[in-house]
Structure 1
Amino acid sequence: MQSTPRQPNFLIIVTDQHRADHLGAYGNKVVRTPHIDGLAAGGFRADAMYVATPICMPNRASMLTGRYPSAHGARHNGIALSTQATTFVDLLREAGYSTGLVGKAHFQNMTDHPAQWPLRAEERLSREAFEAPLGRYDQERRDLWLGRDDFDLDYPFYGFETVDLVDDHADIVHGHYRYWLRKHYPEVEALLGPEQAIAAPEYELTRIGQAWRTRVPEALHPTAYIADRAIEQLQRHAGATKPFFLAVSFPDPHHPFTPPGKYWDMYSPDEIALPASFNVTGEPPHVSWLKEKRRNGTAVKHTPALFSCSEREAREAISLNYGSITHIDDNVGRLLHELTRLGLDKDTIVIFTSDHGDYLGDHGLMLKGPIHYQGLIRVPFIWRDPRVTRHLTHSASLTSTVDLAPTILERAGVAPFNGIQGKSMLGLMGGADASLRDALMIEEEGQRVMMGFKERIRCRTLLDGQCRLTLYDGVQWGELYDLDADPLEMRNLWDSAAHAGPRARMLESLARTMLENVDKSPYPSALA
């Protein structure tokens, strides 16, 4: 009797705030990423992979569930993904996979602040319209991890049987990394943070708290720690009978920028070119609002919120971002080398992606926010399957982070669950499907009142392969760009009479796409 082929292993590598065009495989001629580029050369590259939302927590929840934020409920940072939510990792575990996560999770609030939802009864001003499900929603809180030596997660954690947590950013992350550092290298833990950093007065970003030159050695940096723990996981899986799903999640190259050692000045700001759109004029009101703040000296630059940056700040951010990316690439190389040394490469699908991008000087902006330029919403997606020899090398078909869950489940031979809104990319990657969809939606629910808006910003974006349309709640203006003719999105056509037809067509398409993605789970009850 012929034996059934073993289910494939999965190794998914996720970076944080990493735009697609900051990889050699996506055309960048400056940043050095030979190991990630090698993955792309031997696999499939999605050239139009977009986020479900350009915000960390809700998009990571969308990756886990295959659902938009409006469906899974974690609409913006601070709203945890329900502990009762079904994730694709849950299904893999139930199907016999060993499931593990090393690095950043961010499925719950990871700051010092208690979760805003669910609220305790005494904190409610009135009864909530939606009652929160049961569960612990303090599992990633920074103060709880740093204040103890035995705080931990409830397992399985959103489907992960094991987690080696490295939450937050820069060199001041928390989680199991800090336990390890405190136990083995207490003298290094004392070097964390901007107060202990090596002086770098030539960097403007250090003056506003968006970068510092860490004293943490390269080998003890969170990026190296994550690779070390992931390698240990691979070694444990070698020779095992169960297939594995291992997520390796790097908190870099997210700001504040703290690439260690040689990676700090590997790329010189003086040799970095400004983005072509940096000095463009005639932009939408919210971008003009930010630029006016920069001109009159009232821009707030030390918080996680986006701001309009100077030329020097943009060059510094790009150079330090490149340093962090090359540091990650070197550690990805270590991972891939060990995968091959252990003989696991023949049965392991390797995936590389990110949760969202960063403006990094595009249109004179820095960090991220509710302005859906390509640098923010387009992320890398690379898939290398050693068992598939005939496949497309790349595709410009519209794909979304909600497609990750159904793709992995189909490749693992595991039936999906009702409510998944993404689509499997296997047919597209194999060349059977010419396109995955005609239009793609991006949601955003803001936390802050800013940029001239009277309330928290809420917007929806539609991409149709040629144009990008963004509609904002509470204002009469919007954005419309012809990406074929204007890939840098420098000419807003919203008020163009010549483009009234395309605008109307895309507004209708957006309405239909929103309707299509209204939650269809649970099934309706049977009629009496």
Structure 2
Amino acid sequence: MTDRPNILVIMVDQMRADWLGVAGHPVVKTPNIDALAAQGTRFTDFNVATPVCQPNRASILTGRYPSVHGLRHNGLSLPYSQSTFVEALRASGYATALIGKSHLQRMTGHPQKKGSQPVTGPISEAVKDANRYDVESPENLTADEIVVPRPYYGFDHVDFTSDHGDRPNGHYLQWLKTSRPDDWQALRDRENQLPHNYSCPQAYRTPLPVELYPSSYIGMRGCEFLDAQDASTPFFALVSFPDPHHPFNPPGRYWDMYDPDDFEVELPFEAHETPNPVLKALREKFVDGSQFTAGQENFMATERHLKEAMALTAGMIALIDDQVGKLIDRLKANGQWDNTVVVFNADHGDFLGTFSMLLKGPYIHNSTYRVPFIWRDPERDGGTTDDRLASSIDIAPALLERAGVAPYHGIQGRSLWSGERREELLMEFEDNAYPKPYFTDRPANSRTLLTPDHRMTVYEGEDWGELYERVTDPDETRNFWGDPDHTVLRTTLIHKLVDELIGATETSPFPPFRA
């Protein structure tokens, strides 16, 4: 057995930090994830670098902010010029694998809306980049032969399950076609959904049986990778589930595992004492019926629809929890458990009822920026919690330090392994298109400063902002931005935010000469 630890990172998509049994959720049951926390450390204030899929996944791999690594918002790609901690592990002798959702490049073929493209001259972009970023495009991942240049951001073994719900493509689609050659198309046909009585937007009862559902496939492939490893070589595996991201379509028994009536909408829109213009604009579209509910952007819903979405999300989480149990059992059966670090994390959260909203969007709230993070390590005692302010960019330096690998210059995170403590944390948000509620003529762009006691968000081009007391108002329902009694505090936090922004600028490459 190698003296360096194996590392298994289990990633889920769009899951709130408080939707775990071990986090105190009154309804959702996650026995396998809870057991992982009982043997590890659960971070109670772990936050994203940005509450959006693509850029935060890139921040996890690079240990850098979106504004620095270049994948600033969905629809872009992580430049191949950016180093990842996976590359550093591979260079030090680790076997590396990506199984499931990657989302480091675009995974749709939808162009930007007309009118959103900039007007340019003979040179179209300030940054010249002729590299190919269509590896995760549907054109490639639905082809008979999937082309993946390896190593892919440091991964030698790549097994893609790209997109969400019951119709991802990639290697999963190839496997499904082989497994069910006669009816795979019918199983993915929206006209063939099973009968149900749910009416919430994006509720869909898939005819795919549990064993053919993407999360089951990813769990199976993850176990197969663990089985194939040589004990003399350490491995790093990212097993990445597209769930519990919408659409709301848990398969088989997971569909009616939870009853909508068992859930409560604890923070309806009316709970916010001082809603900002973004929240008000969303409410207006909900009231007049003009909001769009079939896409990726957040929207408001009725109490019944929110409860239905909660129940179906809980079913998807239950399926993931079962897969986590299978992965842990396989580590133990293979004799790998005693030398494997296991991390459980999500790329961002979901409103899931907060102020009557679903999904995610330009409105910032801890339901979308605080995510679950569990670190189980054979070198440390389990059953503990860690209240440190931590960020997605801190994962890369922590795993490198744990593996005994020095970080590369320009990494911006702080190692969780060595116990560094932050007094402040920066979060970025940059939207990729418009129009949106309130932001009708430009993409939303904001920066957030988080401290143990406060959350402050400043929006580009606006004279209003947000300032919340995290200790006395953990639900962020009263905005003190314009309160005269908070003027000194607001000024102090703005200075801290400026300091964080200065410290978050690019420092790579290091200048080899003085002049």
TM-score normalised per structure 2 = 0.95
- Matched residue, 1:76: 73
RMSD: 1.7
- Matched residue, 1:51: 48
Q: CA shift at 1:524, angstroms?
A: 2.6
Counterpart selection for 1:300 from 292, 313, 330: 292
- Matched residue, 1:348: 340
Give 3-state SS (helix, strand or coil) of 2:37's partner.
helix
TM-score normalised per structure 1 = 0.93
The C-alpha deviation readout for 1:13-42, integer Å capped at 9, x for no partner, is 000001100111211121110000111111
- Matched residue, 2:454: 467
**Residues 466 and 483, structure 1, Cα contact 8 Å, conserved in 2:** yes
- Matched residue, 2:133: 137
Counterpart selection for 1:164 from 154, 159, 164: 159
**Residues 10 and 239, structure 2, Cα contact 8 Å, conserved in 1:** yes
* Aligned mates of 1:413, 1:54 — CA distance in 2: 30
- Matched residue, 1:87: 84
- Matched residue, 1:250: 241
- Matched residue, 2:438: 452
Give 3-state SS (helix, strand or coil) of 2:477's partner.
coil
- Report matched runs for 1:110-125 at 5 Å: 110-113=107-110, 125=121
- Matched residue, 1:441: 426
One-letter amino acid matched to 2:22: A
One-letter amino acid matched to 1:230: G
Taking a change above 3 Å as real, the CA distance of residues 272 and 197 of structure 1, as seen in their structure-2 partners, is same
Does residue 380 (structure 1) correspond to residue 365 (structure 2)? The answer is no
Give 3-state SS (helix, strand or coil) of 2:427's partner.
strand
- Matched residue, 1:120: none
Give 3-state SS (helix, strand or coil) of 2:228's partner.
helix
One-letter amino acid matched to 1:327: L
* Aligned mates of 2:184, 2:280 — CA distance in 1: 44
Does residue 517 (structure 1) correspond to residue 513 (structure 2)? The answer is no
The C-alpha deviation readout for 1:371-407, integer Å capped at 9, x for no partner, is 1111000001100111334x78111110000000000
What 5-or-longer segments of structure 1 have no aligned partner? 117-122
The C-alpha deviation readout for 1:383-433, integer Å capped at 9, x for no partner, is 0111334x78111110000000000000000010001000001122xxxx5
Task: Tell me the number of residue pairs that the alignment of Structure 1 and Structure 2 aligns.
Answer: 506
Give 3-state SS (helix, strand or coil) of 1:24's partner.
coil
Counterpart selection for 1:180 from 150, 175, 182: 175
* Aligned mates of 2:423, 2:386 — CA distance in 1: 14
* Aligned mates of 1:495, 1:40 — CA distance in 2: 41
* Aligned mates of 2:175, 2:185 — CA distance in 1: 10
* Aligned mates of 1:170, 1:61 — CA distance in 2: 22
One-letter amino acid matched to 2:243: D
One-letter amino acid matched to 1:127: I
Give 3-state SS (helix, strand or coil) of 1:452's partner.
coil
Give 3-state SS (helix, strand or coil) of 1:353's partner.
strand
Taking a change above 3 Å as real, the CA distance of residues 285 and 52 of structure 1, as seen in their structure-2 partners, is same
One-letter amino acid matched to 1:36: I
* Aligned mates of 1:71, 1:360 — CA distance in 2: 30
The C-alpha deviation readout for 1:287-345, integer Å capped at 9, x for no partner, is 01100111111111111111111111211111111000011001110111111011100
- Matched residue, 1:322: 314
Q: CA shift at 1:370, angstroms?
A: 1.4
One-letter amino acid matched to 1:177: Y
**Residues 43 and 373, structure 2, Cα contact 8 Å, conserved in 1:** yes
**Residues 38 and 383, structure 2, Cα contact 8 Å, conserved in 1:** no
One-letter amino acid matched to 1:439: E
The C-alpha deviation readout for 1:225-251, integer Å capped at 9, x for no partner, is 0011111000001x4311000110000
Q: CA shift at 1:190, angstroms?
A: 2.3
* Aligned mates of 1:133, 1:414 — CA distance in 2: 30
**Residues 441 and 510, structure 1, Cα contact 8 Å, conserved in 2:** yes
- Report matched runs for 1:20-59 at 5 Å: 20-59=17-56
Q: CA shift at 1:125, angstroms?
A: 4.4
Q: CA shift at 1:447, angstroms?
A: 1.5
Give 3-state SS (helix, strand or coil) of 2:418's partner.
helix
Structure 1 stretches of 4+ moved >3 Å: 113-116, 123-126
One-letter amino acid matched to 1:495: G
**Residues 181 and 189, structure 1, Cα contact 8 Å, conserved in 2:** no
Counterpart selection for 2:282 from 270, 290, 308: 290
Taking a change above 3 Å as real, the CA distance of residues 5 and 155 of structure 1, as seen in their structure-2 partners, is closer
- Matched residue, 2:216: 224
One-letter amino acid matched to 1:139: V
* Aligned mates of 2:112, 2:298 — CA distance in 1: 23
* Aligned mates of 1:113, 1:6 — CA distance in 2: 47
- Matched residue, 1:271: 262
Give 3-state SS (helix, strand or coil) of 1:451's partner.
coil
One-letter amino acid matched to 1:145: L
Q: CA shift at 1:151, angstroms?
A: 2.0
- Matched residue, 1:415: 406
Give 3-state SS (helix, strand or coil) of 1:427's partner.
coil
- Matched residue, 2:464: 477
* Aligned mates of 1:83, 1:193 — CA distance in 2: 36
* Aligned mates of 2:129, 2:442 — CA distance in 1: 28
Give 3-state SS (helix, strand or coil) of 2:398's partner.
helix
Does residue 398 (structure 1) correspond to residue 395 (structure 2)? The answer is no
Give 3-state SS (helix, strand or coil) of 2:239's partner.
strand
| Range that drifts further, 243-252 or 265-274 | 265-274
**Residues 109 and 115, structure 1, Cα contact 8 Å, conserved in 2:** no
Give 3-state SS (helix, strand or coil) of 1:165's partner.
strand
* Aligned mates of 1:399, 1:104 — CA distance in 2: 24
Taking a change above 3 Å as real, the CA distance of residues 464 and 193 of structure 1, as seen in their structure-2 partners, is farther
Q: CA shift at 1:5, angstroms?
A: 6.2
* Aligned mates of 1:5, 1:213 — CA distance in 2: 46
Taking a change above 3 Å as real, the CA distance of residues 115 and 150 of structure 1, as seen in their structure-2 partners, is farther
The C-alpha deviation readout for 1:157-180, integer Å capped at 9, x for no partner, is 100001110010000111100001
Q: CA shift at 1:475, angstroms?
A: 1.1
Counterpart selection for 2:480 from 481, 493, 496: 493
* Aligned mates of 1:343, 1:115 — CA distance in 2: 49
* Aligned mates of 2:185, 2:58 — CA distance in 1: 31
**Residues 115 and 137, structure 1, Cα contact 8 Å, conserved in 2:** no
**Residues 346 and 387, structure 1, Cα contact 8 Å, conserved in 2:** no
Taking a change above 3 Å as real, the CA distance of residues 193 and 46 of structure 1, as seen in their structure-2 partners, is farther
Does residue 234 (structure 1) correspond to residue 226 (structure 2)? The answer is yes
- Matched residue, 1:9: 6
Counterpart selection for 2:150 from 138, 141, 155: 155
* Aligned mates of 1:232, 1:22 — CA distance in 2: 28
